[in-house]
Amino acid sequence: MNTPKTSLTTIALFFMATILFQSCVAYQKNPVSLQQAERSQERVKLKTSRNQTYFFERIVLEKEQFYGLQKEKRELVPIAIADPGTTQVFLRSKSKSTLATIGLILVPVIGLGIYARTMTFDSGLEF
């Protein structure tokens, strides 16, 4: 039985996309204060007044200065948050992240299942 090369490529692309989407992170839509973000010890998305967006592993407070810890080369590097009054901080939403990951995996699997069921296979036998 010969398997077409295109179907193997499709399956490989599907598994690559599945692995890629497992790192999905969704954020809450209501902003919180930097103090709340520091207490939560969660991933955060920080938007500045100049429409710049930063993603931090967490926020820390040292000597009355807030820092965002950003991952660079497998290390957490502290980056000072210059003007804490004009930033919006969004916490990671665990439930939305989980649902997004499951949905991004489950929808293609269901689609492939439906596609496979609608395909007609010719066995070569006639009755």
pTM above 0.75, yes or no: no
Token pair of 79, please?
């980056």
Interval 70-79: pLDDT, tens: 988 889 899 9
Interval 42-73: pLDDT, tens: 899 999 888 888 899 989 999 889 999 998 88
Average pLDDT over residues 93-107: 78
Closest CA to 19 of 110, 105, 109, 112: 105
pLDDT band at 6 (very low <50, low <70, confident <90, very high): low
Token pair of 9, please?
């490529």
SS (H, E, C) 7-38: HHHHHHHHHHHHHHHCCCCCECCCCECHHHHH
- The pLDDT score that the predictor gives to residue 110 is 84
Domain 31-109 has CATH 2.30.30: yes
What distance in Å separates the CA atoms of residue 97 and residue 13, rounded to the nearest whole number?
A: 22
